[in-house]
Amino acid sequence: MAIEGIPVDPRSLVYKRIVAQHKTDPDIGRRVEWRCWDGADKDNAPVANDRPLVVLIPQFDSNERFAVDAWRTTLGIEVRIYLPNDSDATNYFDLWGAIERAIYPKDARDKQLAFEQQLRDAGAETGEITFPRPAQVVAADGPGGQPAVLYATGAMSIACIRPINS
């Protein structure tokens, strides 16, 4: 839900385009449950326990002067991965690889370039997404003395340009 009278920020547009890229990816789009905090009603619904879950959380990582009338902001996206009842850490790496391939698909340079152009049109500086913190698998004690569970966290980022006087 947009806030009446508040213009849509270019960084919001970039984030929503990245979310759409993942949700529509033929390899992982429908194979995982998504929580992206992008206004979808199901973001507040209970999580299914029988499907992999990927949570994307947007955040600003840095802000610096880009030009007299613009800022460069690094839009960070924290990625959390949960695989129910899965004790194989390499499955987390495989899913992380699929998340990367949704951005940089194998043998589809034309699609990648079109996606990067869409990101630039939305407000990204170059359209290039980086992965400064690849998935880190963590073992945590389960609740109430349950066996340890695995989850993974990582991050992707993209530079966005935000005009100051617009």
| Of 128, 78, 80, the residue nearest 104 (C-alpha) | 128
- Contact indicator for 127, 120 with CB cutoff of 8 Å: yes
* Own/partner pairs, 124-130, CB within 8 angstroms, 24+ separation: 124/10, 124/14, 124/158, 124/159, 124/160, 124/161, 125/66, 125/72, 125/158, 125/159, 125/160, 125/161, 126/159, 127/158, 128/158, 128/159, 129/18, 129/103, 129/156, 129/157, 129/158, 130/156, 130/157, 130/158
Per-residue model confidence (pLDDT) at position 41: 63
97-154 pLDDT, tens digit per residue, is: 999 999 998 888 899 999 999 999 999 999 999 999 999 998 877 667 666 678 899 9
Classify domain 10-163 by CATH architecture.
2-Layer Sandwich (3.30)
The backbone torsions φ and ψ at residue 68, rounded to the nearest 5 degrees and listed phi first, read: -55, -35
The torsion angle over the Cα atoms of residues 122, 123, 126 and 129, rounded to 10 degrees, is -70
- Contact indicator for 139, 104 with CB cutoff of 8 Å: no
Whole-angstrom Cα distance, residue 69 to residue 75? 19
| Mean residue pLDDT across the chain | 87
Judged by DSSP in three states, 71 sits in strand
- For the cut 80, the answer to whether the pLDDT of residue 2 exceeds it is no
- Contact indicator for 157, 129 with CB cutoff of 8 Å: yes
The domain limits of the chain are: 10-163
Per-residue model confidence (pLDDT) at position 142: 65
- For the cut 80, the answer to whether the pLDDT of residue 96 exceeds it is yes
The distance from CA 116 to its chain's CA centroid, rounded to whole angstroms, is 15
Confidence category of residue 45, pLDDT binned at 50, 70, 90: low
Per-residue model confidence (pLDDT) at position 46: 66
- For the cut 90, the answer to whether the pLDDT of residue 20 exceeds it is yes
Q: Please list the residues that pair with 126 across neighbouring strands.
A: none
Instruction: Tell me the percentage of the chain whose pLDDT exceeds 90.
Output: 57
